[in-house]
């Protein structure tokens, strides 16, 4: 069972999932206030992948959306991700719920109903994998209009940020040496922790610069790696992770305001700001490219057609598209690296060589009549060598 389900499961006889309500019309403000086991009450038409990932990362017990989570304009990815993670999603309950549900109230979600105690205060549609699949079929009809909007937004973004994209103007310098080194950028995309585990051999062999983006920084830290650079909103990153990073880069709005900067100052951690309209993932890629990375490997950064359209009219969509054009052939997906990367000498061959050497030594000792004690010592040594190689290639 998913963690969110364990946190939200009620022990009472009433069925459903229970959690403390966190209510906010603005998704960004709400995400900064969530704790594990909360029920997020928001008003978000077409929940996108990034918002859904943040909700799952926060460990919410459920989500109540005043608006349709899939409006049909385009096939957005957020609802599917929430349902796959085991987070109940009650959809389209109406905007009155934002006034009627008090922040901090104890909510219960069951079969499309939203309850405070035994009183039903709102009702919508509880999304399932089947209902989302049906809605996505209809939503694909809106892709043409979204592509037209995407093209217009890309031209506008390039006019506004052309000096950043084309010349790297405004990209902060970092003290970590990046020039002519490989860089691994880890963001909090789907299955990013699993992808990172598959890259352990690559990290051990090439020792790339490690850049953690938002939840990806926590994933690096939890996996036993020390992020060289952390990029993202400090309010969404764990304290121990922030303290473990060599450098922290905080995305700032064009007016200079940087969310989460106060927390960094309270922790006594040095940080630099990166004023731009792009998202944290794009800024991390631009940071690596501008500082001379020879290759940039990504984990948790998906940028296919569905991901571009998933962001709708968001200003970050053209940023993502143009950033990837900027990096060109320097940009490599981590899944491809894990698939192609192979150790130069296989574990099986090394084990056979060690076995042959030990067998020859044991035979020599046996023939020479030195004694059984030396044979036992040789066998113990062989087992130790095999265990060491297993640990090396684990």
Q: What is the pLDDT of residues 64-96, one digit of tens each?
A: 999 999 988 778 889 999 999 999 999 999 999
In the predicted structure, residue 152 carries a pLDDT above the cut 80: no
- State mean pLDDT over 111-134: 93
What are the structure tokens assigned to 308, written together?
Answer: 């571009």
**Degrees (nearest 5) of the Cα angle 47, 51, 53?**
115
Query: Three-class SS of residue 224?
Result: coil
| Other Cβ atoms closer than 10 A to 165 | 21
| Other Cβ atoms closer than 10 A to 394 | 8
Beta bridge partners of 333: 298
Are the CB atoms for 163 and 169 separated by under 8 Å? yes
Are the CB atoms for 88 and 131 separated by under 8 Å? no
Alpha-carbon distance of 276 to 375, in angstroms, equals 68
pLDDT in tens, 304-360: 655 555 554 444 567 777 888 788 889 998 888 888 875 444 555 555 655 666 566
| pTM metric for this prediction | 0.62
Give the burial class of 229: count Cβ atoms within 10 A of its Cβ; 0-12 exposed, 13-18 middle, 19 or more buried. Answer: buried
pLDDT of residue 394: 52
CB contact set of 102 (below 8 Å; sequence gap of 6+): 21, 23
* Residue owning tokens 């209009």: 145
pLDDT band at 7 (very low <50, low <70, confident <90, very high): very low
pLDDT of residue 323: 83
pLDDT band at 381 (very low <50, low <70, confident <90, very high): low
- State mean pLDDT over 223-229: 94
Max Cα-Cα span within the chain: 91
Which CA distances in Å does 152 have to 282, 306, 391?
19, 18, 53
């Amino acid at each position: 069972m998913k963690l969110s389900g364990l946190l939200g499961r009620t022990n009472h006889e009433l069925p459903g999932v229970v959690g403390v309500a966190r209510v906010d019309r603005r998704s960004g403000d709400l995400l900064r206030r969530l704790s594990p086991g909360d029920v997020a009450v928001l008003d978000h038409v077409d929940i996108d992948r990034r918002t859904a990932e943040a909700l799952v990362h926060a460990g919410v017990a459920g989500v109540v959306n005043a608006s349709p989570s899939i409006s049909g304009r385009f096939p957005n990815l957020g609802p599917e991700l929430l349902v796959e993670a085991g987070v109940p999603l009650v959809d389209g309950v109406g905007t009155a719920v934002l006034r009627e549900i008090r922040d901090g109230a104890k909510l219960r979600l069951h079969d499309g109903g939203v309850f405070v105690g035994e009183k039903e205060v709102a009702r919508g549609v509880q999304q399932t994998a089947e209902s989302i699949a049906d809605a996505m079929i209809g939503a694909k009809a809106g892709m043409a209009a979204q592509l037209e909007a995407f093209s217009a937004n890309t031209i506008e973004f390039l006019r506004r940020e052309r000096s950043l994209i084309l010349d790297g103007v405004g990209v902060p310098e970092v003290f970590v040496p990046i020039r002519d080194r490989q860089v691994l950028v880890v963001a909090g995309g789907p299955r990013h922790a699993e992808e990172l585990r598959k890259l352990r051999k690559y990290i051990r062999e090439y020792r790339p610069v490690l850049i953690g983006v938002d939840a990806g920084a926590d994933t690096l830290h939890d996996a036993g790696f020390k992020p060289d650079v952390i990029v993202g909103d400090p309010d969404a990153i764990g304290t121990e992770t922030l303290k473990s990073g060599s450098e922290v880069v905080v995305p700032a709005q064009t007016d200079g305001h940087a969310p989460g900067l106060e927390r960094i100052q309270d922790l006594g951690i040095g940080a630099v700001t990166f004023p731009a309209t792009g998202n944290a993932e794009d800024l991390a890629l631009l940071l690596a490219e501008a500082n001379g990375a020879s290759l940039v490997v990504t984990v948790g950064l998906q940028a296919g057609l569905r991901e571009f359209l998933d962001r709708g009219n968001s200003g970050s969509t053209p940023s993502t598209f143009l950033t990837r054009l900027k990096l060109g052939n320097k940009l490599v997906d981590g899944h491809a690296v894990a698939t192609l990367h192979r150790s130069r000498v296989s574990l099986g061959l090394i084990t056979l060589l060690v076995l042959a050497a030990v067998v020859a030594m044991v035979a020599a000792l046996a023939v020479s009549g030195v004694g059984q004690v030396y044979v036992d010592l040789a066998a113990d040594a062989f087992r130790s060598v095999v265990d060491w190689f297993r640990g090396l290639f684990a």
